[in-house]
């Protein structure tokens, strides 16, 4: 009888180290968000980054990090008072994320589209002009 092999345990620290290296190293902000609040830390080596990822993950934080490198002149010590880095602290864009959602059908028929205030105004104007 074949017994299903036990899955190997996931080494989260090794995964975090590889992710840090994939991003190109440098200073990385790690931001954790949970019902307990927000934590922010800055790491300039893979081991410290990986340790912080594991610790925050075990405490139930949802974790985020900057994909693009921070400016080498960025001084994280100046921001350790609970503040996070901003777009101005990014030195260059290596990664750009694009969120593409499929077109979905509306439950009452027809197509559903996200309607921002500007698209709603446009729709109202086009309905008025089609009625005349």
pTM exceeds 0.85, yes or no: no
Q: How confident is the model at residue 59 (pLDDT cuts 50, 70, 90)?
A: very high
Contact (Cβ atoms closer than 8 angstroms) between residue 56 and residue 30? yes
Q: Could you report the per-residue pLDDT of 104-127, keeping only the tens digit for each?
A: 766 665 555 555 555 555 545 544
Closest CA to 27 of 88, 97, 85: 85
Going from N- to C-terminal start, the domains of the chain cover 7-94
Q: What is the mean predicted confidence (pLDDT) over 47-74?
A: 90
Share of the chain above pLDDT 90, in %: 20
């Amino acid at each position: 009888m074949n017994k299903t092999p036990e899955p190997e345990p996931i080494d989260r620290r090794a995964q975090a180290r590889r992710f840090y290296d994939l991003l190109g190293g440098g200073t990385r902000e790690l931001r954790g968000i949970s019902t307990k609040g927000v934590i922010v830390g800055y790491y300039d080596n893979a081991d410290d980054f990986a340790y912080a990822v594991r610790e925050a993950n075990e405490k139930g934080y949802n974790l985020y990090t900057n994909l693009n490198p921070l400016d080498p002149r960025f001084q994280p010590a100046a921001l350790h008072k609970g503040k996070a880095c901003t777009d101005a602290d990014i030195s260059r864009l290596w990664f750009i994320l694009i969120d593409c959602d499929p077109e979905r059908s509306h439950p009452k028929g027809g197509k559903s589209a996200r309607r921002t205030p500007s698209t709603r105004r446009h729709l109202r104007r086009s309905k008025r002009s089609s009625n005349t």
